[in-house]
Structure formats: C-alpha cells, structure tokens
Structure 1
Amino acid sequence: MEKERLLAALAEDLERIESALSAVQASQVPFINEVSHYILFAGGKRLRPLLTVLCARLLGYEDPDIYHLSVLFEYLHAATLLHDDVVDGAEFRRGRKAAHNLWGNQATILVGDYLYARALRIAVEKGNFEVLKVVTQTTLLMSEGEVLQLLNVDNTGLTEAEYEEVIFRKTAALMAAACECGGIMAGAGPEERRELYRFGRHLGLAFQITDDLLDYLGVSAETGKDLGTDFKEGKVTLPLIYALEVAGDGDRSRLLALLRDPESTPESFHEAREIIARLGGFEKTRRRAEREVEAALSALSRFPENPTRRLLEDLTRYILVRRR
C-alpha cells in the first residue's frame, strides 16, 4: 500500500491520538508544557501509539479509552529523544533546533524526566497491573539502551549481536511493549501476548535498522536531520559493522580514520559512504531489515485475517520503503 493510501486508512486513528495527546499533556508548570509541546508536536509519526490501538483492535477491542492509554508510548519516546539529543549534542530534531539548543541541557533533561513520569502515571490510571509491569520493565530497558549506546560510541569492535542488543533496548522494546499492551487491554492470552510482543520487537528492529540506513542514504530535507550524523558522532551502526567485517587492511584503516576524525567534513563522510557501499555494507543491512520485516509478518500471521491485520501488514512493509 503506497504512503497516501496508508495514511488515509490510518487518518481517523491518528486524529484521535493527536486529540488524546493534547488532552493529557498539561502540567501545572507552563515551562514544562512549552518544552513538551515542542517535542511532542514536531511532526512525529505516532507509530507507537498507533501500534497499541491497532493491536487492541486486532483482537476486537474498540473501547475509545485505548487512545488515552496509547499516548503513554509517545511520551516515553519523546523523553528518550530529549535525553538522546543532549547526550549526542544534536543540532536538529525533525528539521528544527533540538530542544537543548533552545532551553539548555538541564531543563531539557528534567522535562524528559517529567515525560517519563507522566507516561507511568497514565499506566497507573488504567488500573491494569499487567500493563504497568510491561511499561515499567520497558523503561528499564530503554534506560539501559541509552547507556549502552553511550558506552559504544567509537567502539569499532562492536558486533552485530551487540548492536542488536543496543537497538532492541533503544527502539524495539518500546514498540514491542506498545503492541503487547494493546493486546493486554483486549484480554489477550499468554500466547497472543507473546506473538504481539514478537511482532513489535521485529518491527522495531526493522525500523531502527532502516533509520541507520537513512542516516547514510537518505535525503536531509526528508529525514529532518543532516546526513551522516551518526557517523560524525562516532556511532557504529550496522552498515559500518558489515563493511568492517569484510574490509581489507587499507579500507579498514581508512574507514577508522574517517570515523575518528574530529574535523569530519561532508567530503570525508561521502568517502566513507563510498567505501561502505563498495564493501556491500548497505546491501547487507537492507537484507537484514527485510528479514526483520518477514519475522514481524510471521508473528502477525498467527492471528485471524481481518482488515486490521492487513493494515498492520501494510504498515510493516512500509517500514522498508519509508524515507523519513
């Protein structure tokens, strides 16, 4: 399904998610509202709350209260974006100045903490202990992911398995939790919950792997950030891991020199990109993303075929062709 048809099919749900976000965000501290609004309404895709809504509907749950629950996953996501941008010293987020460049590191981190707390409050308000268990465990995993990512900056010995552990905690765990909690609200049994979690995990891995490809191969005007940001920050992602695995001494030395160059230029990034492409790093990364999509679709196949399942399948396939 092309992007326009997919967005049309999701339009009503996305509108209701936006309304739910606007309804529950207010703090008694105006400054918190200002910073929260800046990150929450900067053009995010709302994929995580959307997954909660659709996974609940997949099992026949149509209670409108699901939209209120779903936004906690957008709060958690926004909190990590605020924290990540401070840690990375990012200049831009979604085509605008990163929040810490407007309000400073301390205030931005504290607002991120508020969003974490607000998400947990929503989970408590639902009065469902299983939802609360999943959400709190996920916040632990996400915190670990942020730390692991920091520890692995410039770690050119990072393996594919170690990389997967980082992106599972950083990205996939939240999507998996969003899917599982939709199922919990719909009264899913243990096996259904496992399959929904598996679906979200593989979808999240595919999403992050595609993000890492877009950092090298995307278009800045579409991704909302400068190309090569991860490379300039010394982040070792899958295209580079795959390239280093097969690189000869000359290519390896040159790639490492470009990665560690404190005066990185657009020209040096383009050179690194050409080496990675020649060594098959991008193609192998794309194939890995495709395998994750197939695994996500396999998990969905355990559920009866219906319009919601088909919509989730279309959304999953779109991950591979998205440009932002």
Structure 2
Amino acid sequence: MDKERLLSAIAEDLKKIEAALGAVQASQVPFINEVSHYILFAGGKRLRPLLTVLCARLCGYEDEQIYRLSVLFEYLHAATLLHDDVVDGAEFRRGRKAAHNLWGNQATILVGDYLYARALRIAVEEGNFDILKVVTQTTLLMSEGEVLQLLNCDNTGLTEKEYEDVIFRKTAALISAACECGGIMAGVSDKEREALREFGRHLGLAFQITDDLLDYLGVSEETGKDIGTDFKEGKVTLPLLYTLNQASESDRTRLLSLLRDTEPSRETFREAVEIINHYRGFEYTRQRAEVEVEKALSHLFLFSQNPTRDLLENLTRYILVRRK
C-alpha cells in the first residue's frame, strides 16, 4: 500500500481523532490552552491515538468512545516533546519554533506537566483500572527515558542494549501502551493483550531507530527539524554507536573529535556522515529497524486476517520508508 492509499484508508479515523482532541475540556487558564494548542495542532502524525483505535477495531471494538480515550496518548506524547525541546535546547519542532523559544523554559515545562496530568485525568474518567494501570506505568517509564537520555548524552561507551533501553522508554513504551489499551477496551484475552503490547513495543523501537536514521539522512523540509541535531547535541544514537564499535582506532578518534566539537559546522557533520557511511552504520541501522518491523508483524498473526489487520501491517511497513 503506497502512502496516498494508506492516508486515504485512515483519513476518517484521523478526522475523528482531531475532533476528539478539540472536544476534550480545555483548561481554565488561557495561557495553558495557547501553548497546548501550539504543540498539539502543529501537524503531528497522530500515530499513537490511531494505533489505539485500530487495535481496538482489530479486536471487534467499534464504539466511538475509543476516540476520546485515544487522545490521551497524544497528550502524553506532546508533553514529552515540550520537555525534550527544553532539555535539548531545540530550535524547531515540526517546522516551527520550539515552544520554549516563544514562551520560555519554565512556562513550557509547566504546560508539559499539565498535559501529563490531563492525560491521566482522561484515563481516570474512563473508569477502567487496567487502562489506568498501563497509562501510569507508561508515564513512569517515559520519565525514566527522559532522565536516561540526559545521562547518556555524550556517553560514547553506550552499548546497544543500553541504547535499546533508552528508546524503549523514550518512544516504544508509549506506542506499546496505545496498542495494549485498544485491546483492553475491546475486552481481549491476556494472550491477545500481550500480543498487542509486544506489537506496539517492536513497532515503537522500529519507529525510533528510523527516526535516529532520519536525523542523519533526512531532509529538513520534510522532517520539520534540523538535520544532524542529535549529532550536534552529542547524542549517541545507533548509527554513531555502531560505527564507534566498528571503526579503526584513527577513524574512531576522529569521529569522537567531531562529536565533541563545541562549535560543529556543516562540514563537521558531513565528515561524520562520511565516516559512518564508510563503516555501513546507516545500513546496519536500517537493518535493525527492519528486524523490529518483522517482530512487530509477527505478533499480529494471532489475530484473524481482516481489513484492519491489513491496515496495521501496511502502517507498520510504512515505518521503514517514511521520510518524516
């Protein structure tokens, strides 16, 4: 399924998700609404709420209530974006100035906290203890992910296992929870619930690995953020991590020198890309994403073949070819 057909297939669900985001009760503090609206309606992909809807439908749940539940995962995602951009000192998010560059760090962090709380309120209002348990546990994991990412910045001794632990908490845990909660709403068995959770976990890992690849090989106009941001901030993601482990002593020393340059330039980044490419760091990263996609797909085999499963499979495969 090509991109246009995929977008057509999910268009109605995305429309209802947008409506649900707009319908959730706003804060009584206008400033919070202003900042929240800025990040929530800046052109996000809505992947997480969409997965909640599709996983519920896969299991036979068709109630419109699923859209209201689904948006809590967009709230959680938006909260982490606000926090991450402050920590990273990011200039842009989704092609626009990052919120902290407009309203300051303190206000942006506090609005992020509000969005976390708003998501938890939606989970409480659903009245389902299993959903609340999954959402609160996921919030804890995401908070750990933010801390681990900060601690591991410029950690050139990071192992692949440690890298995976970070991206699980940073990205995959929320996607996994979005899928699992769709199943919980449908009243699935423990076995089916686990399959959806693991589907989301591996999909989330593939998504973040691909994101790390796009930071080196993407196009700013398509990704909505500066290319090479992770490298310039000293973040050790998989392309760099693999290359540091494979490179000769001289190339490793040079790559570390480029990474630690206090005033990195386009030429600095370009040279780093050449070294990573020489040691097939990008190829390896792409292969790791492909492995995670296949693992994700394997967990869908538990469910009967139907149009929704086909759509989830196509959406999963699209992760590998996306450009933003």
TM-score grouping bracket, smaller chain normalisation = over 0.9
Cross-structure match for 1:100: 100
Cross-structure match for 1:81: 81
CA distance in 1, matches of 2:133, 2:218: 37
TM-score, normalized by length of structure 2?
1.00
Q: Kindly provide the amino acid, as one letter, of the partner of residue 302 in structure 2.
A: R
**Residue 199 (structure 1) aligned with residue 170 (structure 2):** no
CA distance in 1, matches of 2:242, 2:21: 40
Q: Percent identity?
A: 81
Residues 90-122 of structure 1, C-alpha deviation per residue, up to 9 Å, x if partnerless? Answer: 000000000000000000000000000000000
Cross-structure match for 1:44: 44
CA distance in 2, matches of 1:131, 1:268: 47
Spell out the pairing of 1:117-136 with structure 2 (5 A cutoff).
Answer: 117-136=117-136
5+ residue gaps, structure 2, are none
TM-score, normalized by length of structure 1?
1.00
5+ residue gaps, structure 1, are none
Cross-structure match for 1:319: 319
Cross-structure match for 1:35: 35
CA distance in 2, matches of 1:248, 1:13: 50
> How many equivalent pairs are there?
324
Cross-structure match for 2:217: 217
SS of residue paired to 1:225: coil
Residues 148-193 of structure 1, C-alpha deviation per residue, up to 9 Å, x if partnerless? Answer: 0000000000010000000000000000000000000000111001
Spell out the pairing of 1:242-253 with structure 2 (5 A cutoff).
Answer: 242-253=242-253
Distance 1:288 1:104, change over 3 A: same
SS of residue paired to 1:282: helix
**Residue 267 (structure 1) aligned with residue 270 (structure 2):** no
Q: Kindly provide the amino acid, as one letter, of the partner of residue 256 in structure 2.
A: L
- Give the 4+ runs in structure 1 shifted more than 6 A: none
Spell out the pairing of 1:227-246 with structure 2 (5 A cutoff).
Answer: 227-246=227-246
Cross-structure match for 1:181: 181
**Residue 300 (structure 1) aligned with residue 280 (structure 2):** no
Q: Kindly provide the amino acid, as one letter, of the partner of residue 241 in structure 1.
A: L
CA distance in 2, matches of 1:263, 1:90: 15
Q: Tell me how far 1:25 sits from its aligned partner.
A: 5.0
- Equivalent pair of 1:25/1:33 in contact (CA under 8 Å): no
CA distance in 2, matches of 1:167, 1:129: 27
Q: Kindly provide the amino acid, as one letter, of the partner of residue 188 in structure 2.
A: A
CA distance in 2, matches of 1:53, 1:33: 25
**Residue 256 (structure 1) aligned with residue 256 (structure 2):** yes
CA distance in 2, matches of 1:180, 1:213: 27
Q: Kindly provide the amino acid, as one letter, of the partner of residue 170 in structure 1.
A: K
Q: Tell me how far 1:302 sits from its aligned partner.
A: 1.1
- Equivalent pair of 1:135/1:177 in contact (CA under 8 Å): yes
CA distance in 1, matches of 2:59, 2:22: 27
CA distance in 2, matches of 1:254, 1:131: 49
Q: Kindly provide the amino acid, as one letter, of the partner of residue 56 in structure 1.
A: A
